C-alpha cells in the first residue's frame, strides 16, 4: 500500500467516455479538499484502441498508453487502477489486478452477470487491497444534502420515493449495435443507468426489501452492425446488416423499502430529448426534496415552515453549505455551478484517500458488496417481469 512518503501511481483501463472521466478525476484529486494525499503519478491509459488511448493520455497528462489491460496488471509500478470497460470484462480484470496487489475502482454495474458479481464480492472479502465501485451520484453535493435532510428527520416519516433515469442515447434506430445491447434482460437500461437510480434510492432512503409490478420492453429490437469501433454512446458508421438487441430499452417497477416506504422507478435509454435525466422526488409527512441531474447545481426543498405565508417549494443553490462544495471547487461561492466531472474528482479523491490511509478522508466509496446488492435488485426486477409483475423479495442488506 502506498504511504504518505511516496506517490500513488494510477492507471485507467478504458479510454472511452467514462474512462476519460476517471482519468480527469485522478488528475484533479490534489486540487481539492485538504492536504494529506500523496502526489499522484498519472502512469497509464490502457485501451485496445491505441489511438483512442493516445488521445486520452494527451488530454489528461498520462505518461504512456498500454495496448491491453494485461499490460497494466504486469506493470509493477502501478498502484491503483480504474476498470472502465464492458461489463463482462470486469471480473477477470479485477481478479488479475487484486492478485497483482493493485487497488481497484470498478465502474458500475459490478459485472456482466450475477454469478460474476458474487465472485467479485467474495474476492473483495478476502482482498488485501482497496476495492470500490463508481457510483458517482453519491458525490453530488445536492444528492448528499438531500440524504442529510432525510437522516436528520427533516422530511418526517417518508411516504414515497419516485426515481427516474431517462436518457436518449439509444433513441436513434440507426445507432450502431454495441456491447451495451448484448447480455440478456437486466443488462440493458436497467444495468446501465438503472443501477445508478437504484443506488441513489438506497443511499437516500434506505434498503429495498422487495420489488413488484416490473415490466421490461425493447422499442428497437434490431440495430445495424457497426463498421468499426463504437466509443461510448457515440454514433458510428454502420453497415446494412442488422443484429438482435438482447436486452431492454425501458423498464419500470415498484419497490417496498425495509422501512415500509413505497418507491416507483422507471428507466429508459430511448427517452427522446433527455440526454442524462436522472431525477427523483422523496416525500415525507413534513417535507419533500427533489433532484434533477439536468440542473445539478441545485435541488428543490419544501418543509413545514411555521409561517403559512412563507411555505412552499424553494430552490436551494449549491454552495459551501452543501457536502463536497467547500474545498471542492476553485471558486467557493453559491451559483458557480457543479458538474458530473466534479463528482468523478470527488470519487477519485475518496478512493485514493482509502488507498493512502488519509487521516481525515472523504466518505468511503461504495464497495463490491454494495454493487452486488444493486445487481440482486436488478435480478429481482427481471424475475418480477418474467412472472407477470409478481412480488419478488430482495436479499436483506448486510
* pLDDT tens string 16-72: 999 999 999 999 999 999 889 999 999 999 999 999 999 999 999 999 999 999 999
Segment 154-181, tens digit of pLDDT: 999 999 999 999 999 999 999 999 989 9
3-state SS class at 303:
strand
Residue after which a domain boundary falls, among 137, 166, 194:
137
User: Does a structural domain hold residue 1?
Assistant: no
Helix 90-99 and helix 114-126, axial crossing angle in degrees, nearest 10: 10
The mean per-residue pLDDT over the stretch 195-207 comes to 98
* pLDDT over 90, % of the chain: 87
User: Does a structural domain hold residue 176?
Assistant: yes
DSSP run (H or E) holding 393: strand 392-393
CA dist 249 to 112, 168, 169, 180, 194, Å?
17, 10, 10, 10, 11
Nine cell digits for residue 11: 492507471
Do 87 and 167 fall into the same domain?
Answer: no
Do 154 and 211 fall into the same domain?
Answer: yes
Inter-residue contact 363 to 346 (CB < 8 Å): no
Do 48 and 126 fall into the same domain?
Answer: yes
3-state SS class at 204:
helix
Q: Is the pLDDT of residue 3 over 60?
A: no
Segment 245-294, tens digit of pLDDT: 999 999 999 999 999 999 999 999 999 999 999 999 999 999 999 999 99
Sign of CA dihedral 129, 199, 343, 178: positive
3-state SS class at 81:
strand
Beta-ladder partners of 251? 216, 267
User: Does a structural domain hold residue 362?
Assistant: no
Do 236 and 286 fall into the same domain?
Answer: yes
Number of folded domains that form the chain: 2
Nine cell digits for residue 393: 423479495
Determine the pLDDT at residue 338.
82
Do 79 and 157 fall into the same domain?
Answer: no
Determine the pLDDT at residue 305.
80
What band does 335 get if pLDDT is binned at 50, 70 and 90? confident
Q: Which residue has the cell 472523504?
A: 362
Inter-residue contact 63 to 42 (CB < 8 Å): yes
| Residue 242: HSE in the Cβ half-sphere, 13 Å Cα cutoff | 9
Determine the pLDDT at residue 238.
86
Residue after which a domain boundary falls, among 85, 107, 137:
137
User: Does a structural domain hold residue 394?
Assistant: no
Determine the pLDDT at residue 4.
52
Domain housing 91: 8-137
Cα angle: 269, vertex 365, 260; to 5 degrees: 70
Do 121 and 235 fall into the same domain?
Answer: no
Mean pLDDT across the chain, nearest whole number?
94
Distance CA 229, CA 307 (A): 60
The mean per-residue pLDDT over the stretch 234-239 comes to 81
User: Does a structural domain hold residue 122?
Assistant: yes
User: Does a structural domain hold residue 3?
Assistant: no
**Whole-angstrom Cα Rg for the chain:** 21
Do 88 and 203 fall into the same domain?
Answer: no
Do 67 and 196 fall into the same domain?
Answer: no
Distance CA 247, CA 275 (A): 20
What band does 2 get if pLDDT is binned at 50, 70 and 90? very low
User: Does a structural domain hold residue 364?
Assistant: no
The mean per-residue pLDDT over the stretch 342-353 comes to 97
What band does 1 get if pLDDT is binned at 50, 70 and 90? very low
Do 155 and 236 fall into the same domain?
Answer: yes
Q: Picking from 62-76, 109-123, 218-232, 375-389, which range would have the lowest pLDDT averaged per residue?
A: 218-232
Do 185 and 301 fall into the same domain?
Answer: yes
Inter-residue contact 195 to 186 (CB < 8 Å): no
User: Does a structural domain hold residue 380?
Assistant: yes
Residue after which a domain boundary falls, among 137, 166, 192:
137
Calculate the dihedral angle through the C-alpha atoms of 245, 121, 10, 343, rounding to the nearest 10 degrees.
70
Burial tier of 310 (Cβ tally within 10 Å: 0-12, 13-18, 19+): exposed
Determine the pLDDT at residue 227.
85
Do 111 and 235 fall into the same domain?
Answer: no
Segment 130-149, tens digit of pLDDT: 999 999 999 999 999 999 99
CATH number of the domain that residue 77 is part of: 3.40.50.720
Do 96 and 204 fall into the same domain?
Answer: no
CATH number of the domain that residue 148 is part of: 3.30.360.10
Sign of CA dihedral 144, 321, 338, 59: negative
Nine cell digits for residue 126: 478476502
Inter-residue contact 353 to 347 (CB < 8 Å): no
Distance CA 162, CA 374 (A): 17
Distance CA 167, CA 79 (A): 35
Amino acid at each position: 500500500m502506498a504511504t504518505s512518503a511516496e506517490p500513488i501511481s494510477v492507471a485507467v483501463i478504458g479510454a472511452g467516455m467514462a474512462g476519460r472521466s476517471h482519468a480527469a478525476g485522478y488528475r484533479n484529486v490534489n486540487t481539492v479538499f485538504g492536504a494529506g494525499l500523496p502526489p499522484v503519478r498519472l502512469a497509464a491509459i490502457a485501451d485496445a484502441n491505441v489511438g483512442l488511448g493516445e488521445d486520452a493520455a494527451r488530454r489528461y497528462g498520462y505518461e504512456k498508453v498500454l495496448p491491453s489491460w494485461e499490460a497494466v496488471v504486469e506493470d509493477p509500478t502501478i498502484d491503483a487502477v480504474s476498470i472502465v470497460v464492458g461489463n463482462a470484462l470486469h471480473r477477470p480484470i479485477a481478479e488479475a489486478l487484486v492478485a497483482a496487489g493493485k487497488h481497484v475502482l470498478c465502474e458500475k454495474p459490478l459485472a456482466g452477470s450475477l454469478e460474476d458479481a458474487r465472485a467479485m464480492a467474495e474476492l473483495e472479502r478476502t482482498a488485501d487491497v482497496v476495492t470500490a465501485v463508481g457510483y458517482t451520484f453519491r458525490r453530488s453535493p445536492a444528492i448528499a444534502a438531500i440524504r442529510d435532510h432525510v437522516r436528520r428527520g427533516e422530511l418526517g416519516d417518508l411516504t414515497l420515493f419516485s426515481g427516474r433515469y431517462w436518457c436518449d442515447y439509444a433513441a436513434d434506430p440507426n445507432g450502431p449495435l454495441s456491447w451495451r445491447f448484448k447480455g440478456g434482460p437486466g443488462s440493458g437500461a436497467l444495468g446501465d443507468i438503472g443501477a445508478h437510480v437504484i443506488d441513489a434510492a438506497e443511499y437516500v432512503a434506505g434498503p429495498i426489501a422487495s420489488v413488484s409490478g416490473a415490466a421490461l420492453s425493447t422499442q428497437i429490437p434490431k440495430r445495424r452492425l457497426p463498421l468499426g469501433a463504437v466509443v461510448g454512446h457515440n454514433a458510428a458508421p454502420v453497415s446494412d446488416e442488422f443484429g438482435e438487441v438482447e436486452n431492454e430499452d425501458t423498464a419500470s417497477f415498484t419497490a417496498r423499502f425495509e422501512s415500509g416506504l413505497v418507491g416507483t422507478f422507471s428507466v429508459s435509454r430511448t427517452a427522446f430529448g433527455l440526454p442524462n435525466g436522472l431525477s427523483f422526488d422523496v416525500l415525507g409527512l413534513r417535507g419533500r426534496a427533489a433532484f434533477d441531474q439536468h440542473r445539478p447545481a441545485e435541488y428543490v426543498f419544501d418543509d413545514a415552515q411555521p409561517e403559512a405565508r412563507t411555505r412552499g417549494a424553494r430552490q436551494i443553490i449549491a454552495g459551501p453549505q452543501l457536502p463536497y462544495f467547500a474545498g471542492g471547487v476553485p471558486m467557493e461561492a453559491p451559483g458557480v455551478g457543479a458538474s458530473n466531472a466534479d463528482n468523478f474528482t470527488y470519487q477519485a479523491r475518496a478512493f485514493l484517500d482509502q488507498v493512502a490511509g488519509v487521516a481525515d478522508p472523504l466518505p468511503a466509496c461504495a464497495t463490491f458488496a454494495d454493487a452486488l446488492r444493486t445487481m440482486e435488485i436488478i435480478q429481482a426486477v427481471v424475475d418480477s417481469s418474467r412472472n407477470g409483475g409478481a412480488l419478488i423479495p430482495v436479499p436483506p442488506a448486510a
